[in-house]
Amino acid sequence: MRTITVVGLGYVGLPLACLCAEKDFDVYGADIDKNKVSLISQGISPIGDPDLKDAVKKTKGKIKATDNIGEAVKNSSIVIVCVPTPVDDDCLPNLRPLKSACEEVSKSLQKDTLVIIESTIFPGTTYEIILPILKKSNVDFYLSHCPERLDPGNKKFAIQNIPRVVGGINNESTKKAAEFYQKIIDVDIIELSSVKAAEATKIMENTFRDINIAFINEMAMSFDKEGIDILEVIRGASTKPFAFMPHYPGTGVGGHCIPVDPYYLIEKAKQIGFSHKFLSLAREINNNMSNYTVKLLEEVLQKLKKTIKNAKIGVLGLAYKADVDDVRESPAFKIIKILKKKDADVFVFDPYVKKGTNVENLNELLQKSDYIILVTAHNKFKNIDLNKLKENNVKIVIDGRNCLDKEKIKSMGIMYHGIGRS
């Protein structure tokens, strides 16, 4: 069990491949993206995360990056599938990348290979979809699910110190997967009784987050009407030593998991005759936060007897979270789309994301904008010299992450509105 193929070299697969290489496994990194394969072969990360850049550079030459999945699988005793599992435009699970990857694996699968699925999947996927595909190989193999739990940009919890759960199609599959992860992970490996339980674990984790964020977003919208500062209330509630877990409102939920995974559970439940009303409502609330953010700007503009049409609006941030370059499902794009549909003149800057940015730097954005919407709480934005807002005659700040100094901004004569704090 020393040769590993990681299928899919994105935000999940690439860190895993690097970690396995650091632990002295022989590692194939397989991906259909030839450009990504070329960069990794040169020790260059195609993903902007600083820690990942260092890891790819450190493991240069130790990861055999290839676009030939079959060749990699043929030479491996462990195959780990880490391809995306998105939703389509109708919010229905799109398993085509996963099915395609498994089809390629099955063509070259060797006897007694351990196959691990790290891609996020709904309960039943392993048995109902993946297992039949892999059985086309006509060889005996082991099959487990170990959902990834990465949090990009989190300095406290990285891939090697996040506990993992595993569940296999049989006891031996579970044991073999747990044995492997114990060799690369520094913390606990939790063996679950079934692969279905492992599938459900990741879905429940992220749905929990989505529901709680929806709750706090709804509270923020309510408090807006009451003139109550949501951050003050959260601070007060957080003093309770039990039962309360703080979540924070914002412009919407982004990333590859939280805005996607609930739909996998919702749609799977429909197949068995159950309706997840609570989950669906949470998705509706969180999806609406981009519209609500723009509505806040419109309400403040009304006080100035202005409209969004032809307004010069600066949008700070494209990434879905602070200090990363990941734009998957970011609410920024929805906000920009709404603003442009209302005929606003929109300027966009993100220090981590080039595509979509239309100004050279933050200073240029401030110079061109009368109104600001902060979407991403990058440190560069949180630590902005607020005097520059005044110097550039910015009239309104919509703080979509409640990370700026409200009182100082208002003291400068600039109109301020956060999400749940006016």
Looking at 20, 82, 257, 403, which residue is catalytic?
257
What the block records as the tokens of 53 is: 């850049």
CA torsion 162-350-413-298 (nearest 10°) is: -90
Beta bridge partners of 27: 4, 63
**Catalytic status, residue 257:** yes
Angle between helices 50-58 and 13-22 (to 10 degrees): 40
Tokens (6 digits) for 384: 């902005």
Cα separation, 153 vs 155, whole angstroms: 6
From CA 81, how far away is CA 79, in angstroms rounded? 7
Q: Which two tokens stand for residue 370?
A: 């009368």
> What are the phi and psi torsion angles at 83 (to 5°)?
-85, 160
Q: How far apart are the C-alpha atoms of 177 and 181, rounded to whole Å? A: 6
Please give the Cα distance from 59 to 71 (Å, whole number): 21
User: What residues act catalytically?
Assistant: 257
